[in-house]
Amino acid sequence: MTNLAGSRPQLEEKPTKFVPGQPDMWMFVLFESLLFTGYFSVYLVSRTQNEELYLRSQAALDLRIGVFNTIALLLSSWAIARCVKASREGAYRPALINASLTILFGVVFLVSKVLEWVKEIHMGNTFTSNEFFQHYFFLTSIHCIHVLIGFIVLGVVVYQLWSPVRRSQQLVETCATYWHTVDFLWVLIFALLYVVR
């Protein structure tokens, strides 16, 4: 099902039901979240087998950095959601601005993550230090790979929005769906690595 973009003005009460973006991307989203859930379950089970070690190691993480990361990604999700809505209304300049903001917040997230890794490594906590840090570096790295792929995906959004001959609303929505996945996966990773006790 495709979106009836621009064919009627936005009515809050009864919008047409549509699947945002390609349904294929939704299959990816659901499958990938299941995969990550598998990784999270392995983490949680091994955590329960070794609580002391995990608590001690977790103390080396700074909760505030995690919060900052989460807020950065929530801002980026917010921006791409605004972008999709703007592009649906035909407001392509604001849409492009929002897409750029998404990239900006994504970069902020990435930079702060790298800085955090450097900090942890300087403190002596590396991938091989202990089980907690194995999971920490693994989950954050594989998430960052998704962020990097996300930049390519956002590049597709910008490319689409730029020229009037393209501007496929479905493609923009598909890419936005991917980016939101990157965001909600981080929400889960943050809760499990930083907050869980």
Partner 1 sequence: MSTTFNRRLLIVWLILTSMTLAYVWMDHTVDQNGTLRASTVVTVSAIVIALIKVRIIFREFMEVRHAPAWLCRLTDAWVVLIAACLLGSYFVGSAVS
Partner 2 sequence: MSLPKMKTTEPLTMPDPPTGSRVSRLAWNFRHHPKRELWFAWWVMVIFYQLYGVLFFFVTRVQPPPSPAWDTPTVVRWFDDHDFGILAGFGVVFLVAGMCAPMNALLAYSMRRMSVSRLFAYSYLIIYSLAAVPGMLVMAIAMIVAALRPHRDPELIHWLYDFAFLSFSGTMGVFMIGSLVWMVAILLDKNRVFPKWFGYLSLCNALTEVVVAPAWIFHRGAFAWNGAIAWWINMVVFVLYTGVFIVLLRKMIQREDFRAGPLPALPDKGEAAHSDSVEAVR
Q: What residues line the site for partner 2 (CB under 8 A)? A: 22-25, 27-28, 31-32, 35, 38-39, 42, 46, 127-128, 131, 134-135, 138, 142, 145, 149
Interface with partner 1 in residues 135-154 (CB under 8 A): none
Measured from the CB atom, the residue of 82 and 113 that comes closer to partner 2 is 113
20 part of the interface to partner 1, by CB under 8 A:
yes
Tokens coding 62: 């700074």
Interface with partner 1 in residues 23-82 (CB under 8 A): 26, 30, 33-34, 37-38, 40-42, 44-49, 51, 55-56, 58-59, 63-64, 67, 70-71, 74-75, 77-78, 80-82
CA separation, residue 163 to residues 93, 156, 159, 167 (Å): 11, 12, 7, 7
Closest CA to 194 of 68, 78, 29, 48: 68
Contact of 174 with 27, CB cutoff 8 Å: no
For 45, what's the count of Cα atoms within 13 Å in the CB-facing half-sphere?
6
Cβ neighbours of 133 (radius 10 Å):
21
Interface with partner 1 in residues 86-105 (CB under 8 A): 86, 89, 91
Rounded Cα distance, 75 and 77, in Å: 5
CA separation, residue 76 to residues 40, 72, 97, 167, 193 (Å): 24, 6, 12, 21, 21
Interface with partner 1 in residues 151-190 (CB under 8 A): 173, 176-177, 180, 183-184, 187-188, 190
Residue found by looking up tokens 């605004």 in the block = 82
Tokens coding 48: 């329960």
Measured from the CB atom, the residue of 68 and 127 that comes closer to partner 1 is 68
For residue 17, the 8-state DSSP code is P
Rounded Cα distance, 179 and 162, in Å: 19
Q: Residue 31 Cβ, how far from partner 2 at the closest point, in Å? A: 6
Q: Residue 188 Cβ, how far from partner 2 at the closest point, in Å? A: 16
Summarize as ranges the residues that interact with partner 1 (CB under 8 A).
Answer: 1, 9-12, 15-20, 26, 30, 33-34, 37-38, 40-42, 44-49, 51, 55-56, 58-59, 63-64, 67, 70-71, 74-75, 77-78, 80-82, 84-86, 89, 91, 173, 176-177, 180, 183-184, 187-188, 190-192, 194-197
